[in-house]
Amino acid sequence: MTVHYPIVFETEASGAVSAFVPGLPVYAAADTQAKAERAIRDVLAAYLQAHPDSRPGARVRVARFSGRRDATIEIVGVAALLGAGRSESKARASRLNGRMGGRPRKAGGVRRRSKPAGS
Verdict on whether the full-model pTM lies above 0.75: no
Report the distance separating Cα 11 and Cα 17, nearest Å: 4
- What is the reported pLDDT for 112? 55
Q: What percent of the chain has pLDDT over 70?
A: 75
- What is the reported pLDDT for 81? 67
Is the model more confident about 117 or about 19? 19
